[in-house]
Amino acid sequence: MIENVYDKQNTKLGFMGLGLMGSRFLRRLNAEGWIVRGWNRSRAATLPLKKYGFTIDDTLGDLVRGSDVLLSSLANDEAVRATYLGEGGVFAHVLPGTTILEMSTISPDLSAHLHQEAQKRGADMIDLPVSGSTPAVDAGTVTLFAGGEPETFDRCIPIFESIARQWHLMGPATAGVRMKLVANLLLGVNMEAIAEAVSLGEHLGLNLDLLLDVLPRTAVIAPAFLGKFPKIKAGDYSPQFPLYLMSKDLNLVDNAANRSGAVLPATSATKRIFEDALAGKGELDLSAVTTYVQALA
């Protein structure tokens, strides 16, 4: 039997980073009955959340000291470094016995450093990146990749049950982040391949609307991309997973490959395409890479 499992009645959750993903996780945890409060570096982003009734702390220290479990969903290494390691950051306030669930997609090196700093302060940490974009967060169908101690992972399962369809302990510290890079390699390369397929179909004289209706019905399109075809067809590139974050993740993949000795020719080419597509499209959904590829001809 798992001891000291977190429960909704007695566990105080604090969520850091209330952007596209974090704000949705916070709302979902609240709707599932958890005691939650939030914090964001930009106060303006928190204003629409006040109507849901949970507390938005003015200072990070208040959130950290008042939470049994800390969760974070932040944009990149820089944001994570500032939030955790900066002056007045998480590790300036965290109490022994606190559990940290760090859900951002960051470099394995930074994740390892966070685990070390947590251990020094008597806190338990799981790196817990997310596979799935905003619709999956809303539906509670994301996949969680975890790295850390099994005992900590097991204590947090009730939290996972409230936000995800499945969760996997991939190994010790940083294993979750490493698995996320593997998954996002496929996300980026496959999205770019779809963009090329659409461009080829258009140049071959196929009816583009019909192509976009039929292609997602074939066996070659993974479920994660089914929702991208209506967006391409409608020209609706409102962000579910922004293109600039996909580019950032491909850079993380490339750096990890270089350090590990892996040779990834298709990923290297895709990384360059996403970098080139950033101009004017970075805040759009990653499926907007289709418009960039179409314009190359």
The conformational region for residue 269 under phi > 0 = left, psi -120 to 50 = alpha, else beta, is alpha
Q: What are 256's two structure tokens? A: 């990890």
Cα-flanking dihedrals φ and ψ of residue 96, to 5°? -55, 140
For the residues 49-75, what does the mean pLDDT come to?
92
Work out the number of other CB atoms within 10 angstroms of the CB of residue 290. 26
The structural architecture, per CATH, of the domain 12-173 is 3-Layer(aba) Sandwich (3.40)
Fold classified for 179-294: N-(1-d-carboxylethyl)-l-norvaline Dehydrogenase; domain 2 (1.10.1040)
- Look at residue 49 in the predicted model and tell me its pLDDT: 81
Instruction: Read off the pTM.
Output: 0.95
Q: How far apart are CA 255 and CA 66, in angstroms?
A: 37
Q: pLDDT (tens digit, 9 = 90+) per residue, 185-242?
A: 999 999 999 999 999 999 999 999 999 999 999 999 999 999 999 999 999 999 999 9
Domain segments of the chain as ranges: 12-173, 179-294
Specify the amino acid at residue 160.
F
Q: How far apart are CA 169 and CA 126, in angstroms?
A: 9
For the residues 241-267, what does the mean pLDDT come to?
98
Work out the number of other CB atoms within 10 angstroms of the CB of residue 84. 26
* Confidence grade of residue 259 (pLDDT, cut at 50, 70, 90): very high
Q: How far apart are the first and last CA of the chain?
A: 61
Instruction: Check pLDDT > 70 for residue 126.
Output: yes
- Look at residue 108 in the predicted model and tell me its pLDDT: 98
